[in-house]
Amino acid sequence: MKIKILILFTLVAVLSSLLRFGNRENNLSVLSDSDFYLDMAQVFVGQKAEFNHYFLTGAAHHYNRPLLPFCAGLLGHYVLNNNYRAAFSIINILAAVFIAYLFFLIVNSFYPLIKYSWFPSLLFLTAFSQMDWGYHILTETIGLAFAFGTCYLVYNLICQIERKGLESNKNYLYYKDWRLYLNIFLLFIIQVLSFLTRETALFVFVFLAYITVKRRLYRWEYLPLVVLLFSVFIIAKIPHSIYSQIYNTHIPKISFVFSALINPKYILDSLVKLGLAFNISWLIFIPAIYYLKKGKLENVHEFIIGWTLAALGYIAAGYLHNSTLTYGYPLRMFFSLFPLFYLFVIEFFEKKFSPSKIVYILSLFFIFHVSISVFGVLLDSGSVTVHTIYNIFSVF
């Protein structure tokens, strides 16, 4: 069953990527963020001697995210005959499939009463945000993949250790167990890669802080573990800091003008983009909140809450920083809330409709959801489908 689900997600991700496969962020603009990543990819495989100084001066924070362009450079140069654009999309498709499959496992594990646990992942793969920006030359999808995976591994590790403590009927942990340190070392490697991918690497700090408070891990028997995990995640920043020093890149400082934050135009711009990020899911999300308060939906699992808090911090940082920019809030940052939104959608449908109607309702909702996403991509002035089709066939 799980293999079939994985195949389904892969097919949906590939089909969802067709409209923007290999595209720059905005194909009709002279310069876009994607050009910075293409420049990096060529430098990393030796086709260019150094980064474009003009690009680096104006967009150093993009150059602070080297993992995706490094991998795309290797794949594009050695496998795809220098087709770097296709390489970026292929890696992002794999990252999207990983997120979708992990999301499926999370819903299955934490919400066993939900029958159609694969449906939220289908919504993720076909969302406007994912179809328009997730499958081409940007780092959002792979950044979310690393953050989502890291949070899941941390949560699993904590649950396993607590379970062992209960099974042994002792109030202390077996810190001499080598498997614990192996797991922490693997988390260290993954977090190093996460920092090299995008600022979404910071999600795990907010997530771990919430889980620590929620599960009372500040107690003496668990405190050394929490301190160790936080220390490992902080140390994992060192390779990225070394890279930043070598290439003179940096994370943009959050600077804001208070008047811009309360500017009605900026607030309206952000609200409209939040709506676009999840299109018709809002029609379900709002009544689902009411159902949750009435006790007709299950309580939100602590994993989803921890991730949502991290996502809100990420969104808030983007809101503060982008208030001073002319293009307003970047819609795709809102999409990090996808677990909460899509979980509420499926749970609401299953609670509201009878088994005889649910398949019809989900099918209809999915058709509308995909149609809005496709229509939105086609309306995007930066979408050039002819060039996209050329990039797809050039892979083969």
Q: Give residue 317's pLDDT.
A: 85
- Residues ≥6 apart with Cβ < 8 Å to 334: 129, 273, 274, 277, 278, 315
DSSP H helices in the chain: 2-17, 33-44, 53-58, 67-78, 84-110, 119-126, 128-129, 140-167, 178-195, 203-214, 223-235, 238-247, 258-261, 264-278, 282-293, 302-322, 331-334, 338-352, 355-379, 385-395
pLDDT tens-digit readout, 111-135:
999 999 999 999 999 999 999 999 9
Q: Give residue 254's pLDDT.
A: 62
**Do residues 93 and 135 touch, judged by C-beta distance below 8 A?**
yes
Q: Give residue 246's pLDDT.
A: 87
Q: Give residue 251's pLDDT.
A: 67
* Whether residue 389 has pLDDT greater than 60: no
* Whether residue 202 has pLDDT greater than 90: yes
Contacts for 366-373 with beta carbons within 8 Å, 24 or more apart? 366/119, 366/122, 366/123, 366/126, 368/280, 369/123, 369/126, 369/127, 369/279, 369/280, 369/281, 370/126, 372/128, 372/279, 372/280, 373/16, 373/126, 373/127, 373/128, 373/130, 373/131, 373/132, 373/279
* Whether residue 230 has pLDDT greater than 60: yes
Round the CA-based radius of gyration of the chain to a whole number and report it: 22
Residue 390's pLDDT band (boundaries 50, 70, 90)? very low
Residue 169's pLDDT band (boundaries 50, 70, 90)? low
* Whether residue 321 has pLDDT greater than 90: no
Q: What is the DSSP letter of 32?
A: -
Q: Give residue 61's pLDDT.
A: 84
Q: Give residue 253's pLDDT.
A: 65
Q: What is the mean pLDDT of residues 189-212?
A: 96
Residue 388's pLDDT band (boundaries 50, 70, 90)? very low
Q: In terms of Cα–Cα distance, which of 239, 391, 260, 235 is closest to 321?
A: 260
The residue written with tokens 């809101």 in the block is: 319
**Do residues 40 and 63 touch, judged by C-beta distance below 8 A?**
yes
**Do residues 303 and 288 touch, judged by C-beta distance below 8 A?**
no
Residue 384's pLDDT band (boundaries 50, 70, 90)? very low
Percent of the chain with pLDDT strictly greater than 70 = 89
Q: Give residue 292's pLDDT.
A: 87
Q: Give residue 170's pLDDT.
A: 56
How far, in whole angstroms, is CA 304 from its chain's centroid?
A: 14
Residue 220's pLDDT band (boundaries 50, 70, 90)? confident
The chain-wide mean pLDDT, for the chain, equals 88
The Cα 8–Cα 2 span in angstroms is 10
Q: What is the mean pLDDT of residues 99-109?
A: 97
Q: What is the DSSP letter of 131?
A: I
Q: What is the mean pLDDT of residues 167-194?
A: 78
Q: What is the mean pLDDT of residues 27-41?
A: 88
Pick the more confident residue, 24 or 237. 237
CA-based torsion, 52, 58, 64, 70: positive or negative: negative
Q: Give residue 176's pLDDT.
A: 60
